[in-house]
Structure 1
Amino acid sequence: MFHLFNKKKENVIVAPFDGEMFSITEVKDPVFAQKMMGDGVALKSTKDKITVCAPASGQLEVLFNTGHAFGIALDNGVKVLVHIGLDTVNAKGGGFKILNKKQGDNVKALEPIVEVDLAKLAKDYDTTVMVVVTDAAGKQITFKNPMTVALGDSLIQ
């Protein structure tokens, strides 16, 4: 089997924060659970506040002004979306703080992107975070099985 990612750090997809990783098919939203946007994993944190970091190096191709989602285009053509919570676009930015980043910026894996007040958001929203490959650029990407992850742990096999 041909492996997409070599051992160099710039071609991996890593955990954007510490948490529990589980199958995206268990997310309580059919768009993610049925992989309509692409394959990926879901993450949950037990902390009240987290900083969500870039899961890969590349260009910050999309950064919603609400802070609830961002997308990174890797140099190899792969595109990764990080979506923080379900229906959190409706929070209109409440509970999110974008950290000195703007759409079009180049980012390195583990660079902080958004601070999230999960305790505040949890009152009205599911705070599951999805990391989804929206464009695999023809490459084979296999996500690891559910496990506890620390910031920077690889999410792919």
Structure 2
Amino acid sequence: MYVSYWQKKTDKSSVVSYNDNKIVALADATQILITDVNDEVFASKAMGDGVAFKLKGDTIYAPASGKLSVLFPTGHAFGIAMNNGVELLCHIGINTVEANGKGFTALKTQGDYVIAGEPVIKLDLKELEKTYDMTTMLIVVKPNEKQVVFNTPSDVRSEEVIAKII
């Protein structure tokens, strides 16, 4: 089995490596159970298993390395196809499609290759929180016959490993 390693240079002296069997936190946040989300579609796992985050920052980072297979024009959601065949969906906030892109700035484009921990979306979090529940979901929409094991909910920092793929 081929496992690729992606490296992200964080400063002049250190390089962080992620392999295709790890998923990292997509923001500084409090990680919660997907079943605790105030949206029946996500909470019921109708779209797939996953976790959710109560955001503490205004940047959403790639939770894994792979191709941005989908990036909604509104910036409220994106998908990543990992090299191991696992596909992830990041949905930022509940009903935020109604914002029509206001408060979301895409830093990448659909089809780009991203490295785990790389910024993908910049938010005007304070403005969005006035109207929307900004709980952000990370869903495994295609496990590709693999099992994704998430860590116990806790406070997390972006790029912190939150799941292993076995």
Return the TM-score normalized by structure 2. 0.86
C-alpha contact 1:10 1:109 (8 A) present in aligned 2: no
Identical positions, percent? 49
1:40 partnered with 2:50: yes
SS state of the match for residue 93, structure 1?
coil
User: Which of the numbers 69, 72, 79 marks the counterpart of 2:80?
Assistant: 72
SS state of the match for residue 150, structure 2?
coil
Deviation sequence 1:104-151 (CA, Å, 0-9, x none): 111111111100111111111100010111000010111111101011
SS state of the match for residue 9, structure 1?
strand
Unaligned runs of 5+ in 2: 6-16
Q: CA deviation at 1:10?
A: 2.8
C-alpha contact 1:60 1:73 (8 A) present in aligned 2: yes
- Pairing of 1:15-94 with structure 2 (within 5 A): 15-47=25-57, 50-94=58-102
| Residue in 1 that maps onto 2:119 | 112
User: Which of the numbers 93, 98, 102 marks the counterpart of 2:106?
Assistant: 98
Instruction: Find the aligned partners of 1:78 and 1:116 in 2 and give their Cα distance.
Output: 26
Distance 1:148 1:6, change over 3 A: farther
SS state of the match for residue 120, structure 1?
helix
| Residue in 2 that maps onto 1:9 | 18
Instruction: Find the aligned partners of 1:80 and 1:131 in 2 and give their Cα distance.
Output: 7
Deviation sequence 1:60-84 (CA, Å, 0-9, x none): 0000010000000000000011100
Deviation sequence 1:23-76 (CA, Å, 0-9, x none): 0000000110000111111101234xx110100000000000100000000000
| Residue in 2 that maps onto 1:137 | 144
Instruction: Find the aligned partners of 1:103 and 1:52 in 2 and give their Cα distance.
Output: 15
Instruction: Find the aligned partners of 2:114 and 2:19 in 1 and give their Cα distance.
Output: 10
Instruction: Find the aligned partners of 1:67 and 1:122 in 2 and give their Cα distance.
Output: 16
Instruction: Find the aligned partners of 1:45 and 1:137 in 2 and give their Cα distance.
Output: 28
Corresponding pairs, count: 150
Instruction: Find the aligned partners of 1:62 and 1:6 in 2 and give their Cα distance.
Output: 22
Instruction: Find the aligned partners of 2:88 and 2:154 in 1 and give their Cα distance.
Output: 20
